[in-house]
Amino acid sequence: MDPELETLAASAATTLISLMISDSWTQAKEKVRRFFAPDSRSGSAPSDLDASRAELVAAREAGHDLLVADIEAEWRVRLRRLLSADRTTGEELRDLIDSLARISEATLMGSVHNVVSGGVQHGPIIQSGRISGLTFTTQLPESSEEGTEVRLRDHR
């Protein structure tokens, strides 16, 4: 097989796997199903998408990186076979990758929605990967009349 087509199949598999574990999967899945649907190009590929996604999500949650790599390899092989058997062209696969990339980019530019749970919060809530040198003053609940100073320090 032409090295360019092998690279294309690998890129498509990587893109497919990354979208399977993202919030964009619902949109991407329909495009992938349509890609595999014509002339039953790949047999059970459309129905295998949901099974692969379920396996992939479970493997990532459990930290099984080898299983994640195996699932990606399965899709890479499946895409290479489509290209080898001339059941799809490199151009069709490039179009799919471009379409999936646009979906992925749209997700990256989306908004963030955080939910705070676990009771009543009597002050600011800060969510961050790292906070350094922040000082603020807040009021305690009505049962107390004095303010409280909170210092967050960087503990590296």
| pTM, rounded to two decimals | 0.62
pLDDT for 46: 67
Q: What is the pLDDT along the chain (156 residues), one digit of tens a residue?
A: 788 888 999 999 999 999 998 888 888 998 998 888 765 555 566 678 989 999 999 999 999 999 999 999 999 999 998 888 877 788 999 999 999 988 877 655 555 667 777 778 777 777 776 767 766 666 666 655 555 555 555 555
Alpha carbon distance 119, 117 (integer Å): 6
- List the structure tokens of 85: 């058997």
The pair of three-digit structure tokens given for residue 88, joined into one six-digit string: 């799809």
- Cα dihedral 67, 72, 78, 80, rounded to 10, equals -140
Q: According to the model, what pLDDT value does residue 140 have? A: 62
Task: Look at residue 97 in the predicted model and tell me its pLDDT.
Answer: 92
Domain positions in the chain:
3-108
pLDDT on residue 53? 93
Phi, psi of 41 (to 5 degrees): -50, -40
Whole-number Å distance between alpha carbons of 33 and 59: 23
Asked if residue 101 lies in contact with residue 15, where contact means CB atoms within 8 angstroms, the answer is yes
Q: Any residues with CB less than 8 A from the CB of 122 and at least 6 apart, and which?
A: 138, 139, 140, 141
